[in-house]
Amino acid sequence: MAHETIIAETRGKVGLITLNRPKALNALNSQVLADILDAVKAFEADPKIGAMVITGSEKAFAAGADIKEMQTKTYVEAFLQDFFVGWEELTRARKPIIAAVAGYALGGGCELAMMCDFIIAADSAKFGQPEITLGVMPGMGGSQRLTRFVGKSKAMDMVLTGRMMDAAEAERCGLVSRIVPAADLVDEALKAAAKIADFSLPAVMMAKEAVNRSYETTLAEGLRFERRVFHSMFALDDQKEGMAAFAEKRKANFTNS
């Protein structure tokens, strides 16, 4: 797949998307959005792919939304275009997406990472929502998703002071799931994605949907949703195979059916 601002390639059952605007520290403009959505759509449609990884460079996952692209925008343009709404489409991907973050993940970069299903951070990663320093505020989900990840106090601290947090702080407060040495970041993320891709795709997709539901509903509704989805899994060949494989002490051979 050829794109202007990203490299999209397959590694076994994993779709790997590498942001590729090094001179602008992977700043996210409308072309990056179009390219990411195009690649994700292709990986979603490819039955051989079971999970995806989005990564950047050693220096920057992404240093934010492209300030130069948006600096002259008027209020009316921003409002009429519903500026940034397009990024929401990424969160509608049904296959899991892991963000592999090294270096700066600032503003829209931090927000892009949070749109993924989980974040693996290099020890060099730095997260922040510095929009306040530009006279604005987060606009790609930072005020909402960061607060759900880290709680009100730390989210306020990040959004109102614009300070950065390092990988250790991000792990402590639950923003990232694990930290790995920078040199191993992409390999570790690909390994995690490959592990997921070896499981039953319908089970993985339903599990992702159930966890995401917890953000959007009451506990009682979420628990009911989980049980109903869990019940439906007994219609899968993969449930029979997974449990038979356990009983027979062998590796399961999932067929995504």
Ligand X SMILES: CC(C)=CC(=O)SCCNC(=O)CCNC(=O)[C@H](O)C(C)(C)COP(=O)(O)OP(=O)(O)OC[C@H]1O[C@@H](n2cnc3c(N)ncnc32)[C@H](O)[C@@H]1OP(=O)(O)O
Contact map string, positions 22 to 51, toward ligand X, x by CB under 6 A: --xx-x------------------------
| Other beta carbons within 10 Å of 163 | 14
Residue choice 14, 36, 53, 63 for contact with ligand X (CB under 6 A):
63
Residue choice 15, 50, 56, 64 for contact with ligand X (CB under 6 A):
64
Mind telling me the catalytic residues? Answer: 65, 108, 111, 131
**Smallest separation, CB 146 to ligand X (Å):** 12
Contacts of 216 (CB under 8 A, 6+ apart): none
The reply on whether position 120 binds ligand X by CB under 6 A is no
The reply on whether position 146 binds ligand X by CB under 6 A is no
- Written as six digits, the tokens of 66 are 């492209």
The reply on whether position 87 binds ligand X by CB under 6 A is no
- In our burial notation (b when 16+ CB lie closer than 10 A, e otherwise), range 36-56 reads bbebbeebeeeeebbbbbbbb
The reply on whether position 102 binds ligand X by CB under 6 A is no
Asked whether 83 and 73 are in contact (CB, 8 A), the reply is: yes
Query: What is the DSSP pairing of strand 14-19 with strand 6-11?
Result: antiparallel
Burial class (CB in 10 A: 0-12, 13-18, 19+), 18: middle
- Applying CB under 6 A, the site for ligand X has a residue count of 20
The reply on whether position 16 binds ligand X by CB under 6 A is no
Q: What residue ranges bind ligand X (CB under 6 A)?
A: 24-25, 27, 63-68, 104, 106-108, 130-131, 134, 136, 138-140
